[in-house]
Amino acid sequence: MKQPKRICIYPKDVSEILGKSIKHAERLLRTIRDALGKESHQYVSFKEFADYTGLDEGEIRERCGW
């Protein structure tokens, strides 16, 4: 069965992409949520992360195995 593609990015993904600690990744995602006016329970998408960091979305997905 084909696994569906994820649309949200998690701290572990951010940590692996940027080579930073999980704690730093959590802070960065919190900063992105604040900048986008999202609440703490809302997710950050790959596209939103890419737009905020200036990284290529396709490259981010590739690094995460998606």
Q: How far is CA 43 from the centre of its chain?
A: 9
User: Where does residue 66 rank: exposed (0-12), middle (13-18), buried (19+ CB within 10 A)?
Assistant: middle
pLDDT tens, position by position, 15-45: 999 999 999 999 999 999 999 999 999 999 9
Q: What is the largest CA-CA distance in the chain?
A: 37
pTM of the model: 0.88
The residue length of the chain stands at 66
Is 7 a residue whose pLDDT tops 70?
yes
Sketch the domain layout of the chain as residue ranges: 11-63
